[in-house]
Chain A
Amino acid sequence: MEVTLRPGRWSSRLARMAVASTLLAAYPAAAQGTFITVSSTTSTEQSGLFRHILPEFTKATGIEARVVAMGTGQALDMGRRGDADVVFVHDQVAEEKFVAEGFGVKRFEVMYNDFVIVGPKADPAKARGKDVLAGLKAIAAARAPFVSRADKSGTHAAELRYWKAAGIDLANDKGPWYRETGSGMGPTLNTASAMNAYALADRGTWLSFRNLGDLEIVVEGDQRLFNQYGVMLVNPARHAYVKREAGQKFVDWVISPAGQAAIAAYAINGEQLFFPNAKAGG
């Protein structure tokens, strides 16, 4: 009969474990103080900017900012679903649409960085120079391998605008030379590095990127390559969960002199990555 006695203990132990595990799973969510969720882009997170400025924000306000990094399109979508309190991205057209649709309260410009075209040192397409459109034309003419994010990110949107401005109709012209990875900046650079291909990258991710292979910057310094970042509070009228007060504090802080100074102070190897340009007084 011993066999039938033991199972009782076993199942009560199971039940206790189930209760304990439920509690254990619940505690991390309950134990924290005030925090906000910021949906932002891989370029700001992976370049290390947030790790540099967020401790200062937390020190100033006592609010913890949790960053979920993804492409701009996805980050805005997170705001649309009400899963973020603040959106901090770089695609002005998409951001303005987001606000116009009533998902964001108001867009504030925060800072800019710039895009660069990277490619093989030998530059087989002769794309090197200061003119982004001339560079892209050379790449397309040479049918040199080019790796595209193709993930609806801010960088992808910018890339498509440059191709259009260069008079290249990707729908007709894209062939095997144009590779769409459908992934983030880092994975795209990894692909470009492995294939010795050209790619459009934001300078921050490029500077913090380690798997360079034979790649280097071939086009930089064109005014058109400037890349503006905007920040906006997700509309509390649309999503009741949005932490209006704490989220607004974050928006106010990044465009305040203190936040702007923190952004300007961030550098990799002595090179400043982001240039604050918030308009005084919002």
Chain B
Amino acid sequence: MLEIFASLGLALGLIGGADPTLLGIVVLSIELSLVAAVAGAAIGLPLGALIAVGRFPGRRSLIVLLNALLGLPSVVVGLVVYLLLSRAGPLGTLGILFTPAAIVVAQTLLVAPIVAALARQTAEDAWKDYEEQLTSLGVSRLRAVPTILWDARFSLLTVVLAGFGRAASEVGAVMIVGGNIDGVTRVMTTAIALETSKGDLPLALALGLVLIAVVLAVNAGAYAIREWSARHHG
């Protein structure tokens, strides 16, 4: 128990002290996770909505597959991205292994299925409400996708935040494709893993508390935006 209190004090000191190294790590973590969340949403939201409103053969299997991908082991994603981006791999010419871009790729692959699976559920509910109205207006299923996404935008914000949370808390894949390079690809989670392996458990836990605070702040901000726009745009 004592250790946890010591970590709490250390965490407050870290936040209050505004250590530039820590600040760099925090900023990089947020930046990469946001980019991955946006990219994952750009892929996952339309995909989820398409599956929700579309009627095509294999749709059910696709839904099962998508839901199964929620449990995609991140280490496997990391390994696959590593093999793809490795100099000896098919995308080796890009030369982005062990750069922040590689981290974003891995995070996006983890975020997209989550966003797609959750968006599918949300969009399907919205489709039930609007199906009659939209079809009577002569709107095709494909054309209905943006409408439904827009209509469910506030619920979908939570879905994107879930994606952000997954990206920000990711460690296995990020370690493999980023390499945890000091000042280049070291993010919150890999820094925590590093301090744990150095046996500095209070510092590791303190960094963990900082990470939780960051995720909390992003969620609070998103919640505030949602409340604000709900009030202004109904």
Contact = CB atoms under 8 A, between A and B. Distances in A.
Interface string B151-180: 101000000000000000000000000011
A134 to B, nearest CB: 28
B42 A81 contact: no
B231 interface: no
B42 A241 contact: no
B101 A28 contact: yes
A22 to B, nearest CB: 8
A150 to B, nearest CB: 15
A212 interface: yes
Interface in A241-271: 241
B86 A82 contact: yes
Interface string B80-124: 000000111100100111111100110000000000000000000
Interface of B: 31-32, 35, 38-39, 41-42, 45-46, 86-89, 92, 95-101, 104-105, 137, 139, 146-147, 149-151, 153, 179-182, 184, 194, 196-201
Given A66-B181, A82-B92, A83-B97, A8 B146 contact: yes
List of 7 A-B pairs having minimum Cβ-Cβ separation, nearest first: A186-B197, A7-B146, A211-B199, A82-B87, A68-B179, A28-B100, A18-B42
Interface residues of A, number: 46
Interface in A197-236: 208-212
A272 to B, nearest CB: 19
Contacts of A18: 38-39, 42
Interface of A: 3-4, 6-8, 10-11, 14-15, 17-18, 20-22, 24-26, 28-29, 37, 42, 46, 50-51, 66-69, 81-83, 183-187, 189-190, 193, 208-212, 239, 241
26 contacts: A3-B151, A10-B146, A10-B150, A14-B41, A14-B46, A17-B38, A18-B38, A18-B42, A21-B38, A21-B104, A25-B104, A29-B96, A29-B99, A66-B184, A67-B182, A81-B88, A82-B87, A83-B97, A183-B197, A185-B197, A186-B199, A187-B197, A209-B199, A239-B87, A241-B92, A241-B95
Q: Which of A15, A22, A24 has the most CB of B within 10 A?
A: A24
A29 B151 CA distance: 38
A44 B199 CA distance: 16
Contact of B201 (A42, A82, A210): A210
A8 B181 CA distance: 42
Contacts of B38: 17-18, 20-21
Given A7-B150, A28-B99, A83-B87, A68 B197 contact: no
Given A21-B35, A29-B101, A185-B197, 20 more contacts: A3-B150, A4-B137, A10-B146, A18-B38, A22-B39, A24-B35, A25-B32, A28-B100, A37-B179, A42-B197, A51-B182, A81-B88, A81-B89, A82-B92, A83-B86, A187-B196, A190-B199, A210-B201, A239-B87, A241-B95
Nearest to B88: A81
A25 B198 contact: no
Contacts of A212: 199
A21 B96 contact: no
Q: Which of A83, A208, A212 has the most CB of B within 10 A?
A: A83
B88 to A, nearest CB: 4
A7 B45 CA distance: 13
Contacts of B104: 21, 25
A3 B139 CA distance: 12
